Amino acid sequence: MIPRSKKQLALLETDIYPMSDNGSSYFSDPSFALNKTMPIHRWVPWIAGFSSSFVRDVLVTFLKGAGTVLDPFAGVGTTLVEAMLLGHNAIGFEINPYAALACHVKVNAHRISEEELRAETAKLQAFYKDKVLSGYQPKSIPPQGFRTRSEFYSPKVLRKVLILQDFINTIARSELREIFRLAFASTMVRYSNYSYEPSLGRRVSAGKSEIHDFPVGQIIVSKLLEMAEDIAWFQDNLPDGSQEATVHNTSFFEYQKYLEPASVDLVITSPPYLNNYHYNRNTRPQLYWLGYAEHPKDLKPLELSNFGKYWQTVRDKDRIDLQFSLPSTDLRERLQALRETNPEKGVYGGNGWANYAASYFNDCYAFLKALRYVLKPQGSAVVVIGNSILQGIMIPTDQYFGRIAELVGLDLIRIEIPRAERVGNSIIQSNVRVAKAKKSHQLYEAVVELRKPA
């Protein structure tokens, strides 16, 4: 029977999920935290990534020979790097230019020699030391369109950052210059007056003191030497060096421009969760300082093209409905219950959040149709996705995702929960956006396995 009241919209019990014979999950924990010490993967912290060991397990399990691996939401390239290391060709789509840069630099890192990078790093050390200790006035300037509520960098730190930019601009070889740009971008918030909590905000708002001075050069050099070490490791561990990875800095919904039908053996990915974590806003420093944005309007196309949209882009609309019918589920009823919650709060009430959730599932529908298009017959997709709690109402995203997959003609093999408790959700931590969740409700992370029929 389909639930009809909010009272009936309770957290689904975990025993409905197919589990392996020993009672544990068929899949390992996909948490990105495991990447923080792994070569290549440790270059860029990324809140939404998943672990290299999880990706490797999936690759070994699902591909017995060399194949083509696709990650439609490539993030900072975990899937692409692991696919190359196991002898596969890889394709990634990533709409965020900063993340796409990280992908591109990682998968092409084996083309740079360790010695060349170390030599250029030594030049940076000499340049930086000379300029910092002199009366040198940097030629570089901060991005003019980048605005923050308080100083992003203190004056002393800003001068050091601009000296670093001056040196980067002297590097002739583009591949080498991109490594230096990534080293800066991946560390730049660390010595700013902002921090991730997990969303980007002022340090003082998180109870931390502002940073008046910092050894910027030392941090950058350490990062570059780490990268040089990892490049040598990458070169030693690539099977034969012939593996290729292509990164498309665009939305995956442009897939027909880049991919042939039935051309992909395996998809490993994690789309944005239904938690309104604003990737573009949270990477504003990198997007502006790397030159990908000069004005807030430059970020608008990214927001409008993002998978699932953002709550801020759809909350003002009268009503957004599902563009498909999903029989034998309570999705429409649950969205309606959400829509009727806290109407007195206007755009902060349930209608705005229901619009956001409906947009999200509409994009799930389009995404799953795309998977059916690109997968070879008997090809598989392994998708990591989290549930959500909006306005106190639990949304079992993984369950609906699996049903939508069946609707478009994919086989749902299993849904499992390798991580039954998840923290850091930007919605559930917000008193403004969310009613207090019931104790029976908790955030979890699921793995959905799909297969295209023969």
Q: For residue range 11-23, what is the model confidence (pLDDT) as tens digits?
A: 333 333 333 333 4
Provide the pLDDT for residue 24: 54
Phi and psi torsions of 399, nearest 5°:
-65, -45
Beta strands in 249-327 (DSSP E): 264-269
For tokens 């050091």, the residue is 160
Provide the pLDDT for residue 5: 37
CA dist., res. 74 & res. 369, Å (int)? 18
Looking at the domain assignment, is residue 104 inside a domain? yes
CATH number of the domain where residue 286 is located: 3.40.50.150
Q: Which amino acid is at 338?
A: L
> Which of 212, 237, 262 is where one domain is finished?
237
pLDDT tens sequence across 321-380: 999 999 999 999 999 999 999 999 988 999 999 999 999 999 999 999 999 999 999 999
Q: Which amino acid is at 339?
A: R
**Domain identity same for 362 and 306:** yes
**Domain identity same for 329 and 380:** yes
> For the whole model, what pTM was predicted?
0.89
Looking at the domain assignment, is residue 1 inside a domain? no
Looking at the domain assignment, is residue 242 inside a domain? no
> Which of 176, 207, 237 is where one domain is finished?
237
CA dist., res. 406 & res. 453, Å (int)? 11
Provide the pLDDT for residue 280: 85
Looking at the domain assignment, is residue 288 inside a domain? yes
Q: Which long-range contacts (CB under 8 A, 24 or more apart) does 206-213 make?
A: 210/150, 210/151, 210/154, 211/154, 211/157, 212/154, 212/156, 212/157, 213/154, 213/156, 213/157
CA dist., res. 184 & res. 172, Å (int)? 17
**Domain identity same for 192 and 338:** no
pLDDT per residue of the chain (454 residues) written in tens, 0 to 9: 233 333 333 333 333 333 333 345 666 666 656 677 899 999 998 876 778 999 999 999 999 999 999 999 999 999 999 999 999 999 999 999 999 999 999 999 999 999 999 999 999 999 999 999 999 999 999 999 999 999 999 999 999 999 999 999 999 999 999 999 999 999 999 999 999 988 899 999 999 999 999 999 999 999 999 999 999 999 999 998 678 899 999 999 999 999 999 999 999 999 999 998 888 889 999 999 999 999 999 999 998 899 988 899 999 999 999 999 999 999 999 999 999 999 999 889 999 999 999 999 999 999 999 999 999 999 999 999 999 999 999 999 999 999 999 999 999 999 999 877 665 444 434 333 444 445 446 889 999 999 999 9
Provide the pLDDT for residue 287: 97
CA dist., res. 432 & res. 438, Å (int)? 17
Looking at the domain assignment, is residue 317 inside a domain? yes
**Domain identity same for 262 and 379:** yes
CA dist., res. 176 & res. 168, Å (int)? 9
Q: How many domains are contained in the chain?
A: 2
The DSSP bridge pattern shows strands 411-419 and 445-451 to be antiparallel
Tell me whether the omega of the peptide bond preceding residue 327 falls within 30 degrees of 0, making it cis.
no
Looking at the domain assignment, is residue 243 inside a domain? no
**Domain identity same for 161 and 204:** yes
Contact 178, 104 (CB under 8 A): yes
Cα 330–403–328 angle (5° rounding)?
A: 40
Q: Which two tokens stand for residue 37?
A: 């010490």
**Domain identity same for 144 and 223:** yes
**Could you give the dihedral angle defined by the CA atoms of residues 15, 19, 24 and 28, in that order, rounded to the nearest 10 degrees?**
-120
**Domain identity same for 210 and 253:** no
**Domain identity same for 218 and 327:** no
**Domain identity same for 154 and 84:** no
> Which of 211, 237, 263 is where one domain is finished?
237
**Domain identity same for 207 and 350:** no
Provide the pLDDT for residue 58: 96
Residue 371: give the domain boundaries.
6-109+248-451
The number of beta carbons lying within 10 Å of the beta carbon of residue 18 is 12
Q: Which two tokens stand for residue 189?
A: 């918030």
Provide the pLDDT for residue 83: 97
**Domain identity same for 408 and 279:** yes
Looking at the domain assignment, is residue 396 inside a domain? yes
From edge to edge, which strands make up the β-sheet containing 245-248? 245-248, 89-93, 68-71, 264-269, 375-386, 445-451, 411-419
**Domain identity same for 221 and 291:** no
